[in-house]
Amino acid sequence: MTKSRYTKTAIWCALILSAVLYVTGSGFYKRLSASTDDTYKELKVFTDVLDIVEKNYVDPVDSQELIRGAIKGMMQSLDPHSSYLLPDAYKELQIDTHGEFGGLGIVISTVDSVLTVISPIEGTPADRAGIKAGDQIIKVDGENTKDMVLEEAVKKMRGPKGTTVTITVVREGLEKPQDFVITRDTIPLESVRAFILKDGYGYARITNFRDNTTEDLKKALEQLESADPPLQGLILDLRYNPGGLLDQAVKVADCFLENGDIVSIKGRRSAHDKVYEAHPETKKRTYPIVVLINGGSASASEIVAGALQDHARALILGTPSFGKGSVQAIEPMRDGSGLKLTIARYYTPNGRSIQALGITPDIEIKFRKIEEKKEHVREKDLLHHIKNDKKAEPVESDDKDKDTGSGNKDEEMAERLLSHDNQVTQALQILISWDVFTKLTH
């Protein structure tokens, strides 16, 4: 037997054995024989095709590349989130939730077989270059991304800090594809940013869910809650948050819930089913919360929003979320590659499936940048207006805070949000109204 023939026979036998073990492990003993026979027939066709291609194709072929290509095609036929990862791509995936890396700062996915930007990460090279959610990336450094595995595209866009990459984008409203030449930078892993938006009202933005997100959020909340005056309401901003680690989403939701389910996972196999529950917090947080979401809020961020919405713990404001309600498991393979396979769906505490539907806001408001407006003329601006007979209260100067460094940055960010972001201003008005109405006497 030739070496080539021996290799194909060994691969074929290994595939048969795997199929038998899977079926037996799944408990389908009665269907074992029929299932194995069907698999045997299909795999025999596969080996026949492989043999014909190797012997007759116009140019010499690499059997390993052919087999890996077949596996990729098989995984791509399932859903956009299942994929076969070559060894290098598998390594890239493992640094997504910890460690620093050089890159552009965008979260991408495959939408209708097209590489699509889910969201740019705030303050990163992609964000500064003007990349937007919904942009379709059709080329990376001139290479067509059609049928490119997601992890391969990620690998091509990552690279050492200071190097450049050109991505070609198709965007609604643009007559033709546009090239963006972007210089890579170290992508920050800070996932939580929080500050006082207005006296008594806090703002916390979670950009993604990494292994330290809950810890960072709790520290940020402690600072907001210790402010003077006390915290009377919180805006939790999950817009353009593409998700991340499931356990961190559960723990973030648990920060604001005392009991009940947070999320449940249900798959075809009972071994994949799991329910995550809330636990009483040492620190009781009873202030009202408005959660901001949009089409860039996906996966883990949808779990948080769905849990807080179903428990009536927060009001959800914005536009419908992305709708990624599936769970992927990563299985390492013997050659260093990996298999990313969708094994289950997420469900909110009330049993709603997030998949392809997303979270619907309680109040739907599209983002609209607030334009600068000229102030209306007031009585005090009129010539010869009558003076008030009472002295105005002295206004305290904020000069004492002018040299506080990070405090200044927070103040600038708060001012920017309140002057340019209509969703944030609406959320703040709701929280203020909430506080006013609870103080009204009946």
DSSP-assigned beta bridge partners for residue 315? 290
CATH of domain 192-364: 3.90.226.10
Single-letter residue type at 10: A
Looking at residue 442, its pLDDT comes to 59
Looking at residue 418, its pLDDT comes to 92
pTM here is: 0.75
Report which secondary-structure segment, H or E, holds 344.
Answer: strand 338-347
- 324 a catalytic residue: yes
Longest dimension (CA), the chain: 108
The catalytic position among 310, 321, 326, 421 is 310
Cβ atoms of residues 411 and 401 within 8 Å: yes
Q: How far apart are CA 173 and CA 146, in angstroms?
A: 22
The catalytic position among 109, 324, 326, 410 is 324
Q: How far apart are CA 127 and CA 119, in angstroms?
A: 9
Phi-psi region of 25 (alpha: psi -120 to 50; beta: other; left: phi over 0): alpha
Domain 89-95+100-186 has CATH 1.10.1370.30: no
Q: How far apart are CA 244 and CA 302, in angstroms?
A: 11
Looking at residue 402, its pLDDT comes to 39
Looking at residue 3, its pLDDT comes to 45
* Three-state SS letters, 161-220: CCCEEEEEEECCCCCCCEEEEEECEECCCCCEEEEEEECCEEEEEECCECCCHHHHHHHH
- 310 a catalytic residue: yes
Looking at residue 97, its pLDDT comes to 52
CA angle 312, 313, 314 (to 5 degrees): 95
Helix (H, G, I), strand (E, B) or coil at 241: coil
Looking at residue 110, its pLDDT comes to 79
Cβ atoms of residues 272 and 291 within 8 Å: no
Sign of CA dihedral 339, 344, 348, 349: negative
Which structure tokens are listed for 148?
């490119």
- 266 a catalytic residue: no
Residues of the chain with pLDDT under 50: 1-3, 5-34, 394-405
Specify burial of residue 150 (Cβ count, 10 A radius: 0-12, 13-18, 19+): buried
Q: How far apart are CA 99 and CA 76, in angstroms?
A: 29
Any idea which residue has 């005392």 for tokens?
258
Closest CA to 246 of 192, 220, 204, 210: 210
Q: How far apart are CA 317 and CA 293, in angstroms?
A: 6
Closest CA to 341 of 355, 322, 327, 354: 327
The catalytic position among 83, 297, 299, 321 is 299
Sign of CA dihedral 52, 58, 64, 70: negative
Residues in CB range of 380: below 8 A, 6 or more apart = none
